[in-house]
Structure formats: C-alpha cells, structure tokens
Structure 1
Amino acid sequence: MKEAELVFNPAPVIGHLVSTVEIAKLLIDRDDRLSITVLLMKLPFHDSMLNTYTQSLAASIPTERIRFVNLPQDNSVSYPRTNFLTLFIQNQKPHVKETVTQIMTRSDSGHDSTLLGGFVLDMFCTCMIDVANEFGVPAYAFFTSGAACLGLMFHLQTLQDKHNMDVTELKGYNTELAIPSFANPLPDKVLPSVVFDKDGGSSAFLGYAKRLRETKGIMVNTFMELESHAVQSLSDDATTPKVYPVGPIVNLTGETHVGSGGTHQKIDIMTWLDDQPPSSVVFLCFGSMGSFDVDQVKEIAHGLEQSGQRFLWSLRQPPPTDKFALPTDYGNPEEVLPEGFLDRTAEIGKVIGWAPQVAVMAHPAIGVCVALWVELHLREPVVWSTNSRMANELGLAVEIKMDYRKSDSPAVVSAEEIKGGIRSVMEYDNEVRKKVKAVKEESRKTLMDGGSSYTWLGCFVKDVMDNMP
C-alpha cells in the first residue's frame, strides 16, 4: 500500500496558518496513508500571536502523522514595506528545499517507506512551485478565501495576460464588471485596492493567480451549498486547475493557544458574552491585520452608541506607516474613543483588543458581525471588500456603505450609516438573519460523512495518491 507525505507551506499569517493546520488534520483523519509536514516560516519581526501559536502546535496535536518544522529565521535581510510578504517568502526557498531534501533522503535510505506525494501551497507561497518542480512532484494549493475571490483573481489575471489590459486603470471608472465567479456584476470600487497599486502590488497579486494556474488542484475554503455558482464557474473554465470545495475550515478550540495573556483575555470575553441575551450582541472585528485611523474609530463609536445595541468591539492600533508591522492592542483605548464613551456604554458594550474571533462568532449571544471596508496596512492582496460583496450577493449581509474610495484615501463610514446598518439587521426578523441561520446549519453538515465537502476531500486524497510520481 502506497503511503504519501505532503509538504504544507502556509503563509506566516495567523489566519492562514490556523486554517492550514485544520485542513491537515482533516486529511490525516480521512486516510491512514497520508502524513504531513508543515513548514513554519519565522517573520523577521516579533508577532506574539503567531509565535505562541506555532510553539503550541506539536503539543496540541497528538499524532506523529503531522509534524512541524521551523524554518531558520533570518533577521539580516531588510525588506521594503511594499510587497514585503512576497519578497520574504521568495527568500525562504532555499530553506524549503533543504527541508524537503531531508525528507527525500529519509525515504531513500530505507528508514521510511513513505514517498513524497507533493506540496500544498498557500496562495502567497506559489513561488514554491519551483521547488516542487525540482523534486518532480505535483504542487497543489489551499486557498484560504472563497471560490468567488479565487475566480476574481483568475479573471483579472486573464484580462492582463490574455487581453493586454492594464487592470490598474480600472480605478475610478465607476463601472460594473462581469466576473464569471459572481452571479451579479461587481462594482470596480470593491476590488482589492492592491489591484490598483502601480508600485508592484498589482503585479504581485496577479502573479499569484498566474502561478496558481500551474498547480495540479486547489482546495478552497468554501462549500458547494454556499458558493455553487462560483465553484461551477471555476469548474467550467478549462484554463483553471481542478477545484475542491472542502470547507468550511474552522477551529473552535485552537485559539486557546495564544499564551497565558491571551487565555485570560479569552476567558474574560467569553464570560461577558455568557451574561448577554441570545443573538443580542453586535461583534466588530476586522481580523488580526485590520485597523482604522482615529476619525473612523470615532465614527464607529458614535454609530454604536446611537444604535443602542449591545456590542463587543475588537479595537486595534494601526502599525507605524514607515515600516512593515502588524496592528497591536491599545494601551489605553480612551485615547482614540470619544470622551466618556466607555462610561456611557458600560452597561451594554465591551471594548477589547485581540479577540478569539471564531470562538466569539460561535457564541449564541452574537447576533451580527459588522464588517466595514478597510484599507489594510499590508500592501498585499487582501480581499475583504470583495468578500463583503460576496456575502451581500448571497443574502448573508447588509451593505453599510458602497462608496469605498474617495481619491486615494479610504472613505470614512459615518456614524449614521453604521447605526442604520446595525439596526436594519438587529431590530427586525429579516431575511438576512434567516439566511445566515440556514447556511450555518448547512455548513455543519457538509463536512460530515455524505456531505459535499466530505466527498470533495475524498476526491482530493484520491487524486494525490493517483498523481504520486
């Protein structure tokens, strides 16, 4: 019986790493012939959440069929803020090659009968296809976002490479684009801002899409019942690799591995939520990389207060503008909040820093999650605005604001708009909340035996075994 080892290469971003570990666990649970090595890149600066999570991984997974290899940390290289992640990962190729060489040597020496079955790459790590080619094994991808976003990337890349269109010139046209993976036309204003970056961001973004086409197949963190149109459009495109909708990939427990400080924060947050009525709390959280300037923070605060709704707000401080860094917690959030805001809302709201996002979203007290368009401080392909548009298209969201860009600066979403959006969802028994509930139930079934994602995961395993060199 053939046994295969897969090398997973996740991006060094907490959300990407956590979901990569979860899909790895699903795979080894699904087939005893598989084993997985996860390569852990170390950023050249301190990221406490990422570091504490990676340190806890080996102890948190009681199986020898998943192992974690820390790649060497190199602090001697100075990276520009623009396209930091692209350049950083490019420089990891020698370390990845050395680690895979050791795997091959172990197998060739007869100490291990498992053969290298291929690479599974994050979208940011598609440059590692070159390493897979050197070893003569297939490269697959795990796309941590949805099928519609994957289709958007492929479509824009086709416009550039096949039709000689400069996609950066789409900015400001105020037009709607026919994107095959979207059932309805997509306003150009909701495209990721990196698409319009003439300083290298756009070319890097489309470069990821071009290289994703070279993979043998792409696992996508979605499921057929949620994105049937997008998945079908990708399947109908003969130029794209095979797509496996294997989601939703979530981790309800892994966020406890954030160090003692994070654990105490989580306990405090979850205890507060336990005291709130069911479906009564508005959760505001924009990911580990999301942050706002002071003007937008104040508008959010006023909107929350005027809505009168209970809220949990993960408020994070923007990083410095002169270097690549991640948002951090405020030492004193009162510095950026309206005067007296915390006192006036003490009975109904809680302002926090870091949030255990998945655990909070699963809590019965949460009624709605607010997502504003946000210009992240990473000059990398982020697709939050597009994801929000997709949620609206599926009937899973209410748009707060569509005027996403004014000149070259992010538009400030007003308190009145925020209040209106929150009330429109929270105060009525509307179709959005009914649809969200239905999709939530469907998502629980799809990974069970007989579900669509369960079936697609089996197809991926079969293809891996059939494609082994």
Structure 2
Amino acid sequence: MTKALTSLFLSKTQSDLKLYKTFHIHRQKSPPLNIQSANMTNSELVFIPSPGAGHLPPTVEFAKLLLHRDQRLSVTIIVMKLSFVAKQYDTEIPTAIPRLRYIDIPCDESTMALISPNTFLSAFIDHNKPHVRNIIRSITESDSVRLAAIVLDMFCAPMADIANEFQAPTYIYYTSGASVLGLQFDLQAKRDNENHDVTELKGTELQLSIPSFVNPVPAKVLLDVLLDKEGGSKMFLDLAKRFRESKGILINTFQELESHGIEYLLSSNADIPPVFPVGPILNQKNTPNDGKTEEIMTWLNDQPDSSVVFLCFGSMGSFGEKQVKEIAVALERSGQRFLWSLRRPPPKGKIEYPKEYENYEEILPEGFLERTSSVGKVIGWAPQMAVLSHPSVGGFVSHCGWNSTLESIWCGVPLAAWPLYAEQQLNAFQLVVELGMAAEIRMDYRSSMRPGSVEMMVTAEEIEGGIRKLMSDGEMRKKVKEMKEKSRFAVAKGGSSHSAIGRFIEHVIGE
C-alpha cells in the first residue's frame, strides 16, 4: 500500500478447510453455517469490507438495511482484522441481527509483517485470499442457500479473483462519493487510452476538467496516492479497471446531493457498470464510551440552540503541539462556544489510532482551559452523530471524511473544511466550491502522518476566519438545511436511494 493509502486502512496460509474452523464466527441463536433458520432465506450475500472506521461501519449498516428490506436475503460479512484497529471492530459490530453473521480472519504476526509504506494494500489482500477462498467454498457447499453475489469494498476489488473461481457475480461498495468515483474512472481512462500521467501534476497549480465535477478541479486537491510515482497511482487507477469488471457499483451517496457526478456515471459513454446510489448509509445509534456521552450531552444541554461549533477530525485525526495551539488561539479569539475533540497523535511513523490525553494542559496554551471554561469544553473521544444531532450544535469543523460529511448533512449542520488525507481534499472542494455548503479553513491541507512528511501549519487567523464564516453565513446554512431534508426524502419509501436499493436487490436475486 502507498504511504497515502496506509492512512486509509488502517498464521501461515493453509489451503485446506481445517483453517476455516479457526476463524471467529458470530451469529445470534444459530450454528455458524446453519442458514436454514430463516425459511424464506435463499440468497446469500457475502460482504468483504476493508479494515477501518470509514469502511466497516457503512458495510454493516448497508447489510442491516438489505436484510430489513427483503426476507429472501442473508448476509455474511468477512472481517479481515488488523491488530491496531481490533478495538474499533469490537465497538462497531452489532451481533443481535437475524440472518447476519460475521466471520473474522484473525490478525497475526504474518499479517502485521506486511505493513510497509508501498506494498501493504496488495500484500494484505493477497495474504487473505486463501482464507476468503475457504470461507466462500464452505458457503457454496451448503444446500440451503444460493451464493447470490460477493460485495467487495472499493479497496478489496482484487478479491474478484476469488469470486470468479466460484462463478459468483461481484458488486463494488464504494464508501466515498460519486464525484470522486467519476474522477477515478476518468483518470484511469485517460491513462490507458491517452497515456496521461497524473503524477506529473504534483506540485503544480493546474486545474483539471473532470466530467463528474462541474468546476475545474485544482491539482492541489487530488489524492496523494494519485500523485505517487512509486506505484501508488498505478495501483489506485488499476482499481477502477477492476470496478469496470463488476456487475454493478453501490455508492454511499444520494441523487440529490451528487446529481452531476451520478449523471456522468450513468452516461452511456462512460463505459461503467450499473450504478446504485444507496445513501446516506449511516449508523444513527452511537455506542457510549465509558460514560463520556452523558457528560458531553449534559454540557450541550446547557448551551443555546445553534451556538456551539464542534471540532472533530475523524478516527485518525490529530495534530502536533504547534497546530493545537493555533486552534486554541483561534477559538479563544472568536469568542465562539465550542466542543473540541482533541486527541494525542501516534508516534511519528507508527500506524495506529490517536490516543486520549490524560491532561489537556500539557498540550494547550497556559490558562486556556480556565479562560474558556464558561464557553467551551475539550474532550477526547466524541459520539459524533449524537453531538451533530444536538440542537445546540451550529457548526462542524471537520476533516471532511465522507461518513462525517453525510452525517453533517443528515443533521443539517454546516461544515468548515479542514481535510487531512485520502480523498478528503476532494470532498472539501466539492462542499466548498461545488455545493456551497461549507466554509474553507484550508482546502489543500495534508496531514503529516506519513513518514518523512513535514507538518503543514494552518494559522490561527485562517482558523478563526473559517469559524466565523461557518457560524454567520446564512445562505450556506440554508443550503445545508435544504439538503438535510433531501437526504431524508432519499431514504424514505419512494425516495431516490430507497428505489435504488430495490433495484439492486432485484438485480442480485435475478442473477
């Protein structure tokens, strides 16, 4: 895996079926392989998500939604584990769901040995292929179900090799937006048909005409991996070639949000399989964490409506001491009420989630907590969906991860864009320039979590300006509120996403 994709992801292999018995299988009130308990079930879907907070939770939520929609379906989710995200799985996976089971492929020393800056993704997928093959074989040998399809996470597209062995159709579950997918397809086609080398755009001020975006896209907001000359760009664009081989692509978005990008994907000249915009797929039930949720909600209850700016930067988001101090200065100068999720970054060069601070005073400016005690609260972990749903929250300073973007829209809370890695710069561009639903803090910011990278600095003045615009721009707030209503109509009966899910189910069952 490239350096950029490493931030996204976060036992010797045996060939016989005895290995299957070593996997951890979770299924409520039924033996692991007995799918006959639901008499109406005859079509099995197997989901293979990537490890990480941006991939597994949306997969689980989509699986639950499908099972609710159609009693003919059952779902198996194969969870390829990594030790540094193991705790995340324990909190994100619900177990009491009929016709849904999980099969864990454990992480051992041979798995962790694969983690290197440039080769992790392909090596990790290859390492797990024999395990997945054995699981799929066990399903196909059951007389009680038909393997209807294998649904692959966007980064697991090479697992289609296994599906082909069993003549099983594959679908891609794309956990980012339609416009980004369109860009990935467009650049892949230009590379293969016109010898276009996107890596030559690194460090330039050029702008690109991308058919899935209305406005020209600055090269400075492209994904790091696209600009990686050491093989990352090839690997990322090769994924798009695998997408073209699938039976269809599910996207966690909705027609009303990304109409232009979706129209491009559906156009006949794009040479793309059927596309199903099925979002927003959200987990609306937050898991409490050591009693902290109640404390946070109690504080929010005491604040006026739409008065609090919430700062939270995702599962991998953290900053060094200098940047933290700039944020603190900006908040204090703005005089804005705030709830700030602040966590300790991992040691340089280590791939792991940020940890909690035992004492915030070690990182914040002297006296900051005392001076802002009447208007602000600094926390560690945050129940993001619960916070965004609270009426006192009026703005969200965010890394613009796609899940966080959808949650913010669902709750009708405008954003201030401060992307960190992956496709977040493109998401920020879309929100700020294409949709007018976000204020900009620094749209082309890139995190320093990669080994050897230099930390970019955003000044207190930039942060303060972004926060002031976020909390005062009435037109932006109006647009977000309107999109909130559209997001809810999309998933309601007869809505665009509700209909797309119905089309997907018939597409699968009819195979």
TM-score, normalised via structure 2 length: 0.83
Partner Cα distance (1:410, 1:432) in 2 = 30
Matches within 5 A, 1:246-325: 246-253=278-285, 255-256=286-287, 262-325=289-352
- 1:161–1:148 Cα change, 3 Å: same
1:389 aligns with 2:416: no
Runs of 5+ in structure 2 lacking a partner? Answer: 1-39, 399-416
User: Which of 116, 124, 146 does residue 81 from structure 1 map onto?
Assistant: 116
1:2 is displaced (CA, Å) by 8.4
Are the equivalent residues in 1 in contact too, given 2:183–2:210 (CA < 8 A)? yes
Percent of aligned positions with the same letter in both sequences? Answer: 53
State the AA in 2 paired with 1:446: A
1:409 is displaced (CA, Å) by 3.9
State the AA in 2 paired with 1:72: P
1:406 is displaced (CA, Å) by 12
Are the equivalent residues in 2 in contact too, given 1:374–1:410 (CA < 8 A)? no
1:414 is displaced (CA, Å) by 1.0
Matches within 5 A, 1:338-417: 338-371=365-398, 372-376=417-421, 382-392=422-432, 393-402=434-443, 404=445, 409=454, 411-417=456-462
Cα RMSD over matched residues? Answer: 2.1
Partner Cα distance (1:336, 1:160) in 2 = 46
Partner Cα distance (1:228, 1:221) in 2 = 13
State the AA in 2 paired with 1:153: Q
User: Which of 95, 105, 108 does residue 58 from structure 1 map onto?
Assistant: 95
Secondary structure of the 1:346 match is: coil
Aligned to 1:418: 463
State the AA in 2 paired with 1:58: T
Secondary structure of the 2:438 match is: coil
Aligned to 1:177: 208
Matches within 5 A, 1:143-158: 143-158=174-189
Structure scoring higher RCO (CA < 8 A, sep ≥ 6) equals 1
State the AA in 2 paired with 1:239: D
1:95 is displaced (CA, Å) by 1.1
Secondary structure of the 2:257 match is: coil
User: Which of 104, 108, 124 does residue 140 from structure 2 map onto?
Assistant: 104
Secondary structure of the 2:439 match is: coil
Partner Cα distance (1:52, 1:353) in 2 = 16
User: Which of 16, 37, 47 does residue 8 from structure 1 map onto?
Assistant: 47
Are the equivalent residues in 1 in contact too, given 2:344–2:357 (CA < 8 A)? yes
Partner Cα distance (1:461, 1:403) in 2 = 39
State the AA in 1 paired with 2:180: C
Aligned to 2:257: 226
TM-score, normalised via structure 1 length: 0.90
Could you report, residue by residue, the CA deviation over 1:64-99 in whole angstroms, capped at 9, with x for unpaired residues? Answer: x11111123322341233153443233111111111
1:351 is displaced (CA, Å) by 1.3
1:370 is displaced (CA, Å) by 1.1
Aligned to 1:454: 498
Partner Cα distance (1:207, 1:403) in 2 = 25
Secondary structure of the 1:224 match is: coil
Aligned to 1:120: 151
Could you report, residue by residue, the CA deviation over 1:352-384 in whole angstroms, capped at 9, with x for unpaired residues? Answer: 1121222222222211111344444xxxxx111
Runs of 5+ in structure 1 lacking a partner? Answer: 377-381
Partner Cα distance (1:42, 1:229) in 2 = 36
Could you report, residue by residue, the CA deviation over 1:311-345 in whole angstroms, capped at 9, with x for unpaired residues? Answer: 11111222222332222222323222222211111
Partner Cα distance (1:440, 1:202) in 2 = 35
Count, aligned residues: 446
Could you report, residue by residue, the CA deviation over 1:229-281 in whole angstroms, capped at 9, with x for unpaired residues? Answer: 0100111143212111111111111x31x6xxx14122222222222211111
State the AA in 1 paired with 2:115: P
1:332 aligns with 2:336: no
1:226 is displaced (CA, Å) by 0.8
Partner Cα distance (1:246, 1:350) in 2 = 36
Partner Cα distance (2:391, 2:320) in 1 = 31
Are the equivalent residues in 1 in contact too, given 2:428–2:443 (CA < 8 A)? no
State the AA in 1 paired with 2:436: G
Secondary structure of the 1:87 match is: helix
Partner Cα distance (1:85, 1:352) in 2 = 33
State the AA in 1 paired with 2:328: A
1:192 is displaced (CA, Å) by 1.5
Partner Cα distance (2:472, 2:397) in 1 = 15
State the AA in 1 paired with 2:176: S
State the AA in 2 paired with 1:246: V
Secondary structure of the 2:262 match is: helix
- Runs of 4+, deviation exceeding 6 Å: 405-408
Are the equivalent residues in 2 in contact too, given 1:81–1:323 (CA < 8 A)? no
- 1:339–1:353 Cα change, 3 Å: same
Partner Cα distance (1:400, 1:323) in 2 = 27
Greater mean deviation of Cα atoms: 343-352 or 192-201: 192-201
